[in-house]
Amino acid sequence: MVVTAPTVLETIYGLARQLSVQSTAKADLAWYRRLFSSPLVRVLPLDEPASVLAGELRARYSLPPTGARRDERPKAERRVAWILDIQIAATAWTAGYGVATRNRRDFELLRDLIAELYPQTTPLEVLGPPEAEQPHR
């Protein structure tokens, strides 16, 4: 399995901040840390090509365009999530991979933004459940 470094950051952060309020979070955290360090998982770094692309993408859209859909999240939360999504897409795409996600809509937008920037290249492949099942994150 291949995951991006920003995905690891997101996972560890989400679990670590629950340590003081959720009794099972410590075990959850240990399980994911073991998974990420196991030979079954390859963690793609946010390296130079990925960080250049992520910067370009964020400069184009500092927030995800919402279009017609309702998004109840506060603007600050949407911004943080969008920056992580940008980093994940940039890391996966520049390393030659696609993404599997429950948030297909935002990653399809990122796929289109990357294609606008680099039209001669193979686009980001986005796999995930149909739109109706998608949560906001």
Partner 1 sequence: MSSLPKTTEDGRDLPDADPAAGRRQRARRRDGTRTTLRVPTALALTARRYADDLGTTLNDALIRLAERGAAIYEGEREVEMLAAERQAAVFAGDAFDPNAELSSPEWVEWAIMSAREE
Q: Is 74 in the site for partner 1 (CB under 8 A)?
A: no
Site string for partner 1, 12-41 (x = CB under 8 A): ------------------------------
Q: Is 61 in the site for partner 1 (CB under 8 A)?
A: no
Question: In this structure, are residues 1 and 42 in contact, taking their beta carbons and an 8 Å threshold?
Answer: yes
DSSP 3-state assignment of 60?
helix
Rounded CA gap, 93 and 112, in Å? 12
Cα–Cα distances in Å, from 116 out to 60, 106, 113, 120? 11, 15, 5, 9
- Closer to partner 1 at the Cβ: 66 or 122? 122
Q: Is 101 in the site for partner 1 (CB under 8 A)?
A: no
Q: Is 97 in the site for partner 1 (CB under 8 A)?
A: yes
Q: How many beta carbons lie within 10 A of that of residue 44, not counting itself?
A: 20
Which tokens is 47 given?
């390296």
Which one of 24, 37, 118, 131 is in contact with partner 1 (CB under 8 A)? Answer: 118
Q: Is 62 in the site for partner 1 (CB under 8 A)?
A: yes
Taking CB under 8 A as the binding criterion, the range among 6-14, 30-38, 55-63, 104-112 that sits at the site for partner 1 is 55-63
